[in-house]
């Protein structure tokens, strides 16, 4: 499973708009903030997960047995 960050340039920092997930079609995902609170969840119907609603911070995305950390600036 691969995860890429997609964003747009704003004020010298990259604003993350979406996560691109490859190799995990039709699997459940959960996104947690650094304190362990679940902030988003769903089923991967497409390769893209919109994360614009998330506040700045450190997050973990869990898909199956895989967990990846990402930072929303």
Residue 9: which pLDDT band, with cuts at 50, 70 and 90? very low
Q: What does the pLDDT look like over 10-51, one tens digit per residue?
A: 434 456 678 888 787 888 999 999 999 999 999 988 888 889
Q: What is the mean pLDDT of residues 38-65?
A: 90
Residue 6: which pLDDT band, with cuts at 50, 70 and 90? low
Sequential DSSP letters for 50-63: E-TTSPSEEEEEEE
* Alpha carbon distance 34, 23 (integer Å): 25
* Alpha carbon distance 72, 31 (integer Å): 12
**Model's pTM, two decimal places?**
0.78
What is the reported pLDDT for 3?
A: 62
């Amino acid at each position: 499973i691969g995860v890429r960050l997609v964003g747009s340039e704003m004020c010298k920092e990259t604003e993350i708009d979406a996560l691109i997930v490859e190799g995990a079609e039709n699997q459940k995902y959960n996104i947690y903030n650094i304190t362990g609170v679940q902030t988003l969840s769903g089923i991967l119907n497409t390769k893209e997960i919109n994360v614009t609603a998330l506040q700045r911070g450190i997050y973990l995305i869990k898909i199956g047995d895989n967990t990846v950390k990402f930072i929303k600036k």
